[in-house]
Each structure stands twice: as C-alpha cells, then as structure tokens.
Amino acid sequence: MAKVDKKQVLIAALVGGAIFCLIVSLIDYILGRGFSWPRLGFYYIFATIMYGFLTYRNFKKHKK
C-alpha cells in the first residue's frame, strides 16, 4: 500500500479551502450579497474537508 504524506495533504487542503473562500467572497461581492462570517466559516470547513479528501485520493493514486 502506498504511503501518503499527511503534511502535504493538510497543507493542500488548507490552501485549497482558503482559495475557495476567496473566490466565493468575490462572487458574493460581485452579486451584491452581504458578507457573512458564519457562511464563510461553513464554506471554509466544507472546502477544506473536500480538498483534503480529493488530494489524499490523488496522491494515493499517483504513488501506486
């Protein structure tokens, strides 16, 4: 079984979540929606989990 570096996965997930939140905030600004910390926090947590999962799968697939 291929071993995946958890530190790389964590860093990629955190950076991906932050970039996703920036893009969503920019789109909300363009569409004229108000800024909401709870919504941004939810997006960050959700995006970080998803990017972490996808990054882990990708690294695992390429290390085989």
Predicted local confidence at residue 2, as pLDDT: 65
Tell me the whole-structure pTM to 2 decimals.
0.84
Kindly state the DSSP code that residue 10 receives in the 8-state scheme. H
Number of Cβ atoms within 10 Å of the Cβ of 13: 20
pLDDT tens string 39-62: 999 999 999 999 999 999 998 888
Q: In angstroms, rounded to a whole number, what is the distance separating the alpha carbons of residues 58 and 63?
A: 9
Grade residue 63 by pLDDT with cuts at 50, 70 and 90.
confident
Which helix (H) or strand (E) element contains residue 13?
A: helix 6-31
Task: Tell which residue, 5, 16, 1, has the closest CA to residue 56.
Answer: 5
Query: pLDDT above 90 covers what percent of the chain?
Result: 78
